[in-house]
Amino acid sequence: MPHLPNAVMWSIPAFVLLAVVEMVSYRFHPDEDTEGYAAKDAATSVTMGLGSLVFDLLWKIPIVAIYAAIYELTPLRVPVVWWTLPLMLLAQDFFYYWSHRGHHVIRVLWACHVVHHSSRKFNLTTALRQPWTTWTVWPFYVPMIALGVHPAAVAFCSSVNLVYQFWIHTERIGTLPRPVEFVFNTPSHHRVHHASQGGYLDRNFGGILIVWDRLFGSFVPETERPVYGLTKNIDTYNPLRVATHEYAAIARDVAAARDWRERAGRVFRGPGWQPATLPEAGLPGTAASPEAGSPVAGAPTTGPEPGPGAGRAEPVGESAR
């Protein structure tokens, strides 16, 4: 097994340099149509990024053990050579798409990923705002291990994917040439992903390639200016709250649930899922309750076709979408 570097660790100096350059650019060339930087927000994003490096080391211990066991059990082996690495990167990007999509439409997974969407700014430090509970990600890459890809190769491909996504967190780059925009994830596509408007919710999940979104019906181009953040913002710069607020909201909703079916829904349905409202008995003219998980009455029906989970109701607790 050849030594494969951690692309994220090697790229940290470049992350810092490019973020500083972007900050300076806003100082000398301000733009009223962009969010720019706020000191507390940027500091929180950097803190979340540094914390993720520490917590990822802890999560790696059981995950590496599971991956190693699967790798030893499978008779398949994929050599790590010059022509297999691009194929591994392609496969990892495919499974990243489904991991990312799953972390938007299953609430307990969203509790991890919501951290990355919690900033109302969109700049290069936003890319560093990473979760501390990435134990929810590993199952999506089990097929690669089972097919004989070495766990170290999967880790390398994941780090390359993460490094690629750093530069697309910016408003300083508009749209790129059409062939690039058609194939690759770009700042324009990723601005849509971070937006909180209904037509933009749960769209553009791709990591390196945007073709997965085009193939699986989750692509939306950037048309109107995005409004960044959550549908219900958390209004805090406390890193611990940023990292855990959705888990706390899930716990409150589960505690207040009426039965086990609702408890399961609060954990495993979408972030905006609501149980059916029971009509009050004996009241004439009571309207039938909406189907569980249906959109809020009066929700907009115009604009782009809703993506997976778009237009959902807000949870009762502090769940932010």
Q: pLDDT tens digits for 115-160? A: 999 999 999 999 999 999 999 999 999 999 999 999 999 999 999 9
What is the distance between the terminal CA atoms of the chain, rounded to a whole angstrom?
Answer: 42
Buried (b) or exposed (e) across 26-54, using 16+ Cβ within 10 A?
A: beeeeeeeebbbeeebbebbbbbbebbee
Residue 296 is given by DSSP the state P
Give percent of the chain with pLDDT exceeding 90: 79
Q: To the nearest whole number, what is the mean pLDDT of the chain? A: 88
On whether the pTM is more than 0.95, the answer is no
What pLDDT does 101 receive?
98
Instruction: Give ∠ CA 308-312-315 in degrees, rounded to 5.
Output: 125
Quick check: 307 and 202 in contact, CB under 8 A? yes
Contacts of residue 179, Cβ cutoff 8 Å, sequence gap at least 6: none
Specify the amino acid at residue 205. Answer: F
Residue 5 has pLDDT above 60, yes or no: yes
With H, G, I as helix, E, B as strand and everything else as coil, classify residue 239.
Answer: helix
Four-CA torsion 99, 100, 103, 106, nearest 10 degrees: -70
Q: pLDDT tens digits for 279-316? A: 544 444 433 333 344 333 333 333 344 444 433 334 33
Quick check: 124 and 44 in contact, CB under 8 A? no
Q: How confident is the model at residue 36 (pLDDT cuts 50, 70, 90)?
A: confident
Residue 221 has pLDDT above 90, yes or no: yes
Say how many residues make up the chain.
321
